[in-house]
Structure 1
Amino acid sequence: MNVEKIYVKKVSESVVEQIEKLIEDGTFQSGEKLPSVREMCDMFGVGRSAIRDAIITLKGKGTVDVRQGEGTYIRTFESVTLFNHPLISPESSDVRDLYQVRKMLEPKIAELAATNRSDRHVRELKEIISQEALGDWEHDYNFHMTIAKASGNQIIIQLMQFISATTKKHMNDFHHFIQRDHLKVKKINEQHKDIFHAIRANHAEEAKNKMTEHLEYVERILQTNLWSLSESK
């Protein structure tokens, strides 16, 4: 008979899974200090040894840093360590290729965000929408990054951090450009609101479609203006 042994999960492994889930959903942020061992004992209802073993495991996985006399901190993701290929770097000027990646990724990210978002993510997106200034690239950046966080997938967040780090200058140039056209600014802000409303309502398919429409619209502006201008220099 082919009988598999029953695997009994260690308490510390369950703690690791819980902490990783809290990091993925944004409850624990990159760079943030974890609660003390005693606080986590109360939080998870386990003993000190389970917490210590879990921290050792997380440290080995590169998820946390243990600082002597200070505590345990969630490691801050550095995008350049994920993408170290010489053809892909934050200095890359090939916006076309990067924009193709955005169109492949972000509609699905919006779909996941509509399914997995928390009330906190909804509040953050609403706050960003309410403060969107004319052509403010930082609000644009925060809007898309918050949607990535709402997806609940840590790898997606890391991918978006890389893409955003690579294109920040181009985002800035783009928003300086569209400041001259209030209709385009209004259109982009309306598209952000449509995406937000779909995510808030848990309408996954609509969120995906609205994100696709938004990215295609911005790409058309880039194709007819910024890219042609840069090539004529």
Structure 2
Amino acid sequence: MLQVEKISGKKVSDIVVEQIEEWIRSGSVQPGEKLPSVREMCELFDVGRSAVRDALTTLKGRGLVNVKHGEGTFVCHFDTAQLLPDILLVQKSDISKLYQVRKILEAGIAEMAALNATEKQLNIMEKELDELVNAKTLKGWEADYRFHLAIAEASGNEILVDLMDTVSTTTKKGIMACHRIILSDEKLSRDVAEQHIAIYESMKAKDPIKARKAMYNHLTYVEELLDNHLNESGD
């Protein structure tokens, strides 16, 4: 079901634009899918028809939707990266610091989780792993984050979980930025998927040494991926 917030205040059409972009960004509506009608969106957002029409005009100008007269408004096929607000993207200056912390913290967490994970916790990891490996939209980053969080919880140490939570905002930025890059590259997607599978398999085998190594290698790979991407983009 599409999630909306009632709208009030100035620049109503801009807020409608933001909410429709969030539908697209989150995968609630897919490329080629028809959006609700103008009348339906007026009811969903509790706004007038002019606000919805202005919002659709803006989205059309950005190449995100295509208005077909007599048929409706459809989501275009496009690079989902263009929907990411700057605040969600990890900055170049943050990468080294973030991944220093993540490698120190999560490699140790993986080692402990391999020793302590219960069958139920392994099932949770497997569920998140399946979702992130098969993700076809940017929303896969959420399963990726939950996979890493599930490993922390499986460590059996609440302080480690709290430490993960302390850096969660920056970690989420890094994971989302990673998925932004790999979404349109089959080889990179496969590499990252295989790394997560290796982490999970080491947990299932209760092999702490392999778990530490698999996690460290994965985080090093992502750090280099982000760094190279930002160097190429001139950030």
- Same topology, TM > 0.5: yes
CA shift at 1:169, angstroms? 2.8
> CA 1:150/1:174 → structure 2, altered by over 3 Å: closer, same or farther?
same
Give 1:149-164 correspondences, 5 Å limit.
149-164=153-168
1:176 to 166, 174, 180: 180
Give 1:118-197 correspondences, 5 Å limit.
118-132=118-132, 133-134=135-136, 136-197=140-201
* Partner secondary structure for residue 167 of structure 2: helix
Q: Is the 8 A contact 2:129 2:144 kept in 1?
A: no
- Residue of structure 1 in register with 2:80 after alignment: none
Structure 1 segments unaligned to the other structure (5+ residues): 1-89
> CA 1:184/1:203 → structure 2, altered by over 3 Å: closer, same or farther?
same
CA shift at 1:163, angstroms? 1.7
> RMSD across aligned C-alpha pairs, in angstroms?
2.1
CA shift at 1:152, angstroms? 0.5
Q: Kindly provide the CA deviation profile for residues 167-194 of structure 1, in whole angstroms up to 9, marking residues without a partner as x.
A: 3233223211211211111111111111
Q: Kindly provide the CA deviation profile for residues 5-56 of structure 1, in whole angstroms up to 9, marking residues without a partner as x.
A: xxxxxxxxxxxxxxxxxxxxxxxxxxxxxxxxxxxxxxxxxxxxxxxxxxxx
* Partner secondary structure for residue 115 of structure 1: helix
> CA 1:170/1:213 → structure 2, altered by over 3 Å: closer, same or farther?
closer
Q: Is the 8 A contact 1:95 1:167 kept in 2?
A: no
CA distance in structure 1 between the aligned counterparts of 2:186 and 2:89, rounded to whole angstroms: 30
Counterpart residue type for residue 95 of structure 2? V
State the TM-score, normalizing by the size of structure 2: 0.56
CA distance in structure 1 between the aligned counterparts of 2:184 and 2:157, rounded to whole angstroms: 37
Q: Is the 8 A contact 1:174 1:226 kept in 2?
A: no
Counterpart residue type for residue 151 of structure 1? S
CA shift at 1:228, angstroms? 5.2
CA distance in structure 1 between the aligned counterparts of 2:167 and 2:230, rounded to whole angstroms: 19
Counterpart residue type for residue 112 of structure 1? M
- Residue of structure 1 in register with 2:104 after alignment: 104
- Residue of structure 1 in register with 2:85 after alignment: none
- Residue of structure 2 in register with 1:212 after alignment: 216
- Residue of structure 1 in register with 2:46 after alignment: none
State the TM-score, normalizing by the size of structure 1: 0.57
Q: Is the 8 A contact 2:177 2:226 kept in 1?
A: no
Q: Kindly provide the CA deviation profile for residues 78-135 of structure 1, in whole angstroms up to 9, marking residues without a partner as x.
A: xxxxxxxxxxxx9995232111110111111100000011111100011111222145
After superposing on structure 2, the runs of 4+ consecutive aligned residues of structure 1 that deviate more than 4 Å are 90-93
- Residue of structure 1 in register with 2:59 after alignment: none
Counterpart residue type for residue 187 of structure 1? D
Counterpart residue type for residue 127 of structure 2? E
CA distance in structure 2 between the aligned counterparts of 1:175 and 1:168, rounded to whole angstroms: 11
Structure 2 segments unaligned to the other structure (5+ residues): 1-87
- Residue of structure 1 in register with 2:39 after alignment: none
CA shift at 1:166, angstroms? 2.4
Give 1:1-233 correspondences, 5 Å limit.
93=91, 94-132=94-132, 133-134=135-136, 136-226=140-230, 229=233, 232-233=234-235
Q: What is the count of residue pairs matched by the alignment? A: 142
